[in-house]
A and B are shown apart, each in its own frame.
Chain A
Amino acid sequence: MSDLCKMTVSEALEGLSKKDFSAVELTKAHVSACENARELGAFITESFDLALQQAVASDARRASGNALPLDGIPVAIKDMFCTKGVRTTAGSRMLENFVPQYESTVSANMFANGVVMLGKANQDEFAMGSTNLTSAFGPAINPWKRADGKPLVPGGSSGGSAAAVAANIAMAATGTDTGGSIRQPAAYCGITGIKPTYGRCSRWGIIAFASSLDQAGIFTRNTLDAALMLKSMAGFDPKDSTSANLAVPDFAAATKRGVKGLRIGIPKEYRVSGMDGDVLSMWEKGAELLKAQGAEIVEVSLPYTEAALATYYIIAPAECSSNLARYDGVRYGLRVAEAGDDLDDLYEKSRGAGFGEEVRRRILVGTYVLSAGYYDAYYLKAQKVRALIARDFSRAFEKCDVLLAPTAPTPAFALDESPDDPVTMYLNDVFTIPASLAGLPGMSVPAGLSASGLPLGLQVIGKPFDEETVFAASAALELAAGFPGRK
C-alpha cells in the first residue's frame, strides 16, 4: 500500500498544495489500493474512470490557482446517494440497473468542493441492517482481524463506507444514519463517524428509508477530517423541506477548542445489562480522560431510554413501508411480469422479487402498524413515546453540554455469528437510536481496543445544531485516547 493512502485528508490537502504529489497520483494510488482490496466488498460500483477525469480536472484547477477546499480528495459515496450517470442501487436487486439522472445535493456539494469519487460503497439493502449482510451484492468485510481469523462484519448499514476508510482505500466516505448506520460501523471499524443534526445535510437525492430520521454524514480517520468533509456536505437546500436554513459553522476550528469547563453528561440508563465489560470500562476511561482535560462529569438521566428501540421499530418500518411504496415496477426499478398479468400481479411480483428478506419484513411490519385498527395503538403511540424520548434529552441538556456514551454494546462480530432473530440483531443499535429519534448530532470516536484486539467506539451526543461542541469533545477524546489504529 502506497503511503499516499495512509494520509489523512488534511495531510493530503497540504501535500497537494505544496505540489509534493498531484491529484492524479493520489487518485491512482487509491484506485490501485481499491483493486487490491476487492475481497473486502467495500464497493458495489467502482467509478475509477470518472475518478481519474475528476483528478485531472482537479490538477488543472490547482495549476491555475483556483483550487477548491477539498480539491483532489478521493472518497467513496454510499450507494444511497443518487449520483448522476453512475449506477445507484441502495444495495437492492430492486435498483440493480438504476442510473440516476440527477445528483444528490450532498454529493453535488462535495463535487463543488473538488472531491474525487472512487465508487459507490456497499451497504445494507435500503440501509436496513446493522451488519451489511442484507446487501443484495454480498457482504462488506471489516478490515480488522480477530485472533481466530474469521471474517468480521463492518457494521451497518454503511458497512462498505466504513470498511473502505478503515482499509485506507478511500480517504473519507459518506454514510447515511437512520438509527445508527454511521456511528455503529465507525465503532466496529475503528474510525470516526458523525451523524449531524437532522436537517443539517440535505436529504434531496438520498434514497429514502425513514424520512423523519434519515440524515447524511461522514466517515474519516480523524475528527479534523470529519470537520473538513462535513463542512463541504452541509448547508441549506430549498429542495429538502426539512433542511435547516442555518449557516454552516467552522467545524474544524471547533476541534481545537478543548473541553475545559465543558459539562459532560453520563446517561445512567445506558448502563444496560449484557453490556460487554470492555465497553463499560472504555466508557469509564473516556470520562476520566475528558475530566483530566478540565471537563466536568455529571450524571444525567434519560428515563425513556429503554423504550427507544421499540419506538424506533414502529416508526422506521412505518415510514419505510410508505417510502418504498414507490417501487412499483413501472417508473423505475425491477419489473417482473408475465404475459396476461394484470397491474396488481405486476406490482406484487416485482416487489416480491425485488426486496430482500429484511426489507420485506420491515415493509410488512410498517404496513401492519399503519393499517386500519392498529394505527393508534402502534404508530400514534410510538410518536408520543418519541416525544417523551426527545424531552428526556432536552432536560438532560439543561445540566450538561454534551453526552458521552458507548456507540455499540459489543465489538464487531463474525459474519456467521450474526443473530437470526431480528430483535436480537436490533439490539446493536440500542445506544444510537435514542439520539436518532430526537434528531441530535452524534459522533463515534475510536477510543481503544477490546480484549480480543478489536476497536471500541465512544459516542458524543450534542444539542440540536451544536455539532461544534460535539467536535470539541470528540477531538479532545481522540487526542487523549491515542487510539493506535489498525496494525
Chain B
Amino acid sequence: MPLDHETVTRIARLARIRLTQEVQEKTLPGLNSILGFVEQLSSINTEGVEPMVSASATTLRLREDRVDDGHCRDAVLANAPESFAGFFVVPKVVE
C-alpha cells in the first residue's frame, strides 16, 4: 500500500527530520518507489529460516570489567556546536 502524506509526516516526526511542504512533496514518490520495490520479498517463503543479524559468524567477545577510557572531556566537547563550563548546551527542557 503506497504511503500517503500523513504517514510521511509521522515517519519524519519519528526520525526527527523536519520536512517543508515542498520537500515532502518531492520525497513521497521516491519512498513509494522503494517500498513498492522491496514488497517482492513478501512472496519468498522464509518459514523456519533464522534471521541473519550479522555477516560475522563469531559471537561477541567479553572483556575484563575495568575502565579503559575517559579523562577526555575537552576532546569530547571539541566539536560541540555549543558548550559551556565543560557541558553541552541545549535548550531548556524542564520548565
- Which residue from B20, B51, B76 sits with its C-beta under 8 Å from A387? B51
- Which residue from A199, A334, A357 sits with its C-beta under 8 Å from B58? A199
Could you give, for residues 37-60 of chain B, a 1 whenever the CB lies within 8 Å of some chain A CB and a 0 otherwise?
A: 111111010100111111111101
Which one of A153-161, A181-189, A308-316 contacts B? A308-316
User: Contacts A101-B75, A361-B34; is A310 near B41 (CB within 8 Å)?
Assistant: yes
Which residues of chain A are near B34, meaning CB under 8 Å? 313, 317, 361, 365, 422-423
Q: Which residue among B13, B55, B75, B88 has the maximum number of chain A CB atoms within 10 Å of its CB?
A: B55
**Is B82 part of the binding interface, using a Cβ–Cβ cutoff of 8 Å?**
yes
Which residues of chain B are near A332, meaning CB under 8 Å? 79-81
Q: How far is the CA of A272 from the CA of B54 in the complex (A)?
A: 28
**Is A364 part of the binding interface, using a Cβ–Cβ cutoff of 8 Å?**
yes
**Is A388 part of the binding interface, using a Cβ–Cβ cutoff of 8 Å?**
yes
Contact B55 A438 (CB under 8 A): yes
Contact A360 B55 (CB under 8 A): no
Contact B91 A241 (CB under 8 A): no
Which residues from 393 to 445 on chain A have a C-beta closer than 8 Å to any C-beta of chain B? 421-423, 426, 437-439
Contact B79 A307 (CB under 8 A): no
Could you give, for residues 363-391 of chain A, a 1 whenever the CB lies within 8 Å of some chain B CB and a 0 otherwise?
A: 11101110100000110111111111010
Q: How far is the CA of A304 from the CA of B44 in the complex (A)?
A: 9
Which one of A263-271, A282-290, A347-355 contacts B? A347-355
**Is A330 part of the binding interface, using a Cβ–Cβ cutoff of 8 Å?**
yes
- Which residue from A99, A238, A360 sits with its C-beta under 8 Å from B17? A360
Q: How many A-B residue pairs have CB under 8 A?
A: 177
Which residues of chain B are near A380, meaning CB under 8 Å? 51
- Which residue from A311, A337, A341, A371 sits with its C-beta under 8 Å from B11? A371
User: Measured between C-beta atoms, what is the minimum distance from B61 to chain A in Å?
Assistant: 7
Which residues of chain A are near B81, meaning CB under 8 Å? 329-330, 332-335
User: Contacts A341-B91, A364-B27; is A378 near B38 (CB within 8 Å)?
Assistant: yes
Contact A388 B56 (CB under 8 A): no
Contact A352 B33 (CB under 8 A): no
User: Measured between C-beta atoms, what is the minimum distance from A428 to chain B in Å?
Assistant: 14
Contact B55 A213 (CB under 8 A): yes
B residues contacting A by CB (< 8 A) are 3, 7-8, 11-20, 23, 26-27, 30-31, 33-35, 37-42, 44, 46, 49-58, 60-61, 63, 72, 75-76, 78-82, 88, 90-93
Pick 13 A–B contacts, CB within 8 A, sort by A: A99-B78, A307-B41, A313-B37, A330-B80, A330-B88, A352-B19, A355-B17, A364-B12, A364-B27, A367-B15, A384-B52, A388-B49, A439-B56
Q: A368-B31, A377-B42, A390-B52 are in contact. List 13 more A-B contacts (CB 8 A).
A: A97-B79, A244-B58, A328-B16, A341-B91, A343-B90, A352-B23, A365-B34, A371-B14, A378-B41, A385-B41, A385-B46, A388-B44, A423-B37
A-B residue pairs, 5 tightest by C-beta: A439-B55, A383-B51, A335-B81, A332-B79, A352-B18
A residues contacting B by CB (< 8 A) are 97-99, 101-102, 198-199, 212-213, 238, 241-242, 244-245, 304, 307, 309-311, 313-314, 317, 321, 325, 328-335, 337, 341-349, 351-352, 355, 357, 360-361, 363-365, 367-369, 371, 377-378, 380-388, 390, 421-423, 426, 437-439, 464
